[in-house]
Amino acid sequence: MPIVLPPDLMVSVSGFRGRVGDPLTPELVTALAAAYGAFLRTEGGERSVMLGRDSRTSGPMLAAAAGAGLASVGCDVVDIGIVPTPTLMMAVRDAGAAGGIAVTASHNRAEWNALKFSTAEGVFLDAPGMARFRELLAEEIPRAPWDRVGEVTRDEG
């Protein structure tokens, strides 16, 4: 099913942000992460995806939703826990991962959160990359069969 973005969700080249619960729900985060996982598989093969977050109260819930979305399309996920976004991006590059998702709303108020997307090079998606990713949102996201669902592991070392 195509992903319909709520009108009050803020969309930028670095990702999607909104108030937790409305419009940024766990269901939407799962869907967006699944779409990003499918995007990464078309762009860079079957390498793992790194996941990190900030210390916001909603972080564990939204990171779990993002991990589930990525695993649902066959991506193995390495959750590195609470880290600054630049640390996540360096970890993506250093690990040779396909990309990464940071669950962080930076300077926004506590009731906000966001998904920011990293490429394999450890940088945010550029405008053409985000445009290609957003095109996927209008398509059916291919889910992995039961025996190819990705694994989520934690590595806070």
Catalytic residues: 106
The two tokens of residue 55 are 């210390």
Per the CB < 8 A criterion, the answer to whether 124 and 49 are in contact is no
**DSSP of the chain, one letter per residue?**
-PPPPPTTSEEETTEEEEEBTTTB-HHHHHHHHHHHHHHHHHHH-S--EEEEE-S-TTHHHHHHHHHHHHHHTT--EEEEEE--HHHHHHHHHHHT-SEEEEE--TTS-TTEEEEEEE-TTSSB--HHHHHHHHHHTTSPPPPPPGGG---EEE---
